[in-house]
Amino acid sequence: MSQPAAAVSPEITQLTHYINGAHVAGSSGRFGDVFNPSKGVKTSETPLASKSEVEAAIAVAEKAFPEWAATSVLQRSRIMARYVQLLYQHQHELATLVSNEHGKVIEDAMGSVLRGIEVAEFACGAPHAQKGEFSDNVARGIDIYSMRKPLGVVAGITPFNFPAMIPLWMAGMALITGNTVILKPSEKDPSCPLRLAELFVEAGAPPGVFNVVNGDKEAVDALLEDERVKAISFVGSTPIAKYVYATATAHGKRCQAMGGAKNHMLILPDADLEDVANALMGAAYGSAGERCMAISVGVCVGDEVADRLIDILKPRVEALRIGPSLDTGLEMGPLVTREHRDKVMNYIQMAQDEGSRLVVDGRDFVCSGNEDGFFLGGTLIDDVRPGMQSYQEEIFGPVLQIMRVGSFEEGAALATDHPYGNGTSIFTKNGAAARTFADKVEVGMVGINVPIPVPLAFHSFGGWKSSAFGDHNQYGMEALRFYTKVKTVTSRWLESGLDAEFMMPVLK
């Protein structure tokens, strides 16, 4: 179905890069369009960096690295603490930038900013977390100690769905450990990441330590291939995650690449279905389903459970409060772009064509007064089966699929057997079943009566199978290990000279 041409705001803002503590206009001559999804109008243009522009930013970060790495960890912690304070002071401003360009309702945007700030707060503890190990007198007069050293220039490539939280996941731990950062945010909503970098300089960081380069594949490839970039952190779709991981590691870099998801909630017959319905409404339709931890599949053990649950869900899905992202009291805003909305609509049609039953069809939704916005209503689909393409693939929209199984074992196997392994949850009053599920399911993050089990900042975030590539998770102590390398020193001080030794050293 053809779509009308995008509306254009009368005032189009020209965005920039942020390099060496200053806004820098793009010089490639290429720009990406940024929209207000609620209105469906173009509001700004973001420059798409050329390879040479990226290389210039890398040179700035490389030049800033020695001084930043030599800054005491206590001083870096103080700068990070001031940064946290500024982030709190500007939380509503940052959330507004997110809502205006992504479409997340303002309350949800505020929450996502807060979850990013929590990682920066955790990073303030680096003076303790970054301590090495020391072994005294392992042999006569010999001590061994280890320390964690920063890698150098590192890059973060972040998705459109969390333009505040995920940049802070990456930058917080990378910066506190002494690395310099180049952030390549999504070109769909770059204003918040630019502001995050500004605030870090305002907190007292030297220019060139935290840089933002806007761009598309050309910028990404430049970061992946340049030998001066030592590590890449990525969050996005699985096909791109595979590409990023393969390319980065082929060029000798560390890489953590987080991909897509298809998260299941297993619902046992003893679960309180009112609680389940409440959990599913937020987990499936919050942020218009544009979360890699959204619950997109409800797995009901028994037809009775499925029938009762659908009876509860159907009127709630039909009554979702949907509207412009800056209005308060809403549950869902628009999707990020017209193209993405249309992609989700195609998945709904695919599910219907495959034989699923549309209980609620969100394609009929119209936002009064914002007819040009990229809106889609909540969709509820029953009778989904494992072989369906709409089940196997990530939809990434406000679509909840219901599957019916005959037993706990059959339901648990669905999450284990699915190609993705990001998050899953189980709702039950049976402790033994919950414990078995958490222990055996082949998924990286598990919730027990918790619908979206995103770990707090002092743990770490990461999936399994096609949801993650690389050996380290995001944030927490995993990030400390990812952004540092271990140096171990064996030290010996003698009062007399040391004789030459030609055999393998053996401590005595």
Spatial separation of the C-alpha atoms in residues 425 and 341, rounded to whole Å: 27
Beta strands in 165-224 (DSSP E): 180-184, 210-212
The pairing of strands 357-360 and 295-301 is unpaired
Spatial separation of the C-alpha atoms in residues 101 and 187, rounded to whole Å: 10
SS3 416: helix
**Whether 292 is catalytic:** yes
The pairing of strands 229-235 and 153-157 is parallel
Backbone angles phi, psi at 145, to 5 degrees: -140, 155
Q: Residue 211 in contact with residue 19, Cβ under 8 Å?
A: yes
**Tally of residues, the chain:** 508
Point out the catalytic residue in the list 124, 192, 255, 292: 292
Q: How many CA atoms does the CB half-sphere of 315 hold within 13 Å?
A: 4
Spatial separation of the C-alpha atoms in residues 373 and 35, rounded to whole Å: 10
Spatial separation of the C-alpha atoms in residues 365 and 13, rounded to whole Å: 30
Burial readout 290-326 (b: 16 or more C-beta within 10 A, e: otherwise) = bbbbbbbbbbbbbeebbebbbebbeebbeebebbbbb
What is the 8-class DSSP label of residue 455? P
Backbone angles phi, psi at 107, to 5 degrees: -65, -40
CA-wise closest residue to 177 among 248, 253, 120? 120
Residues 6+ positions from 85 with CB-CB distance below 8 Å: 203
Spatial separation of the C-alpha atoms in residues 94 and 15, rounded to whole Å: 16
CA-wise closest residue to 133 among 143, 146, 150? 146
The pair of structure tokens assigned to 362 is 């969100």
Spatial separation of the C-alpha atoms in residues 254 and 10, rounded to whole Å: 44
Beta strands in 37-132 (DSSP E): 41-47
The catalytic site residues sit at: 292
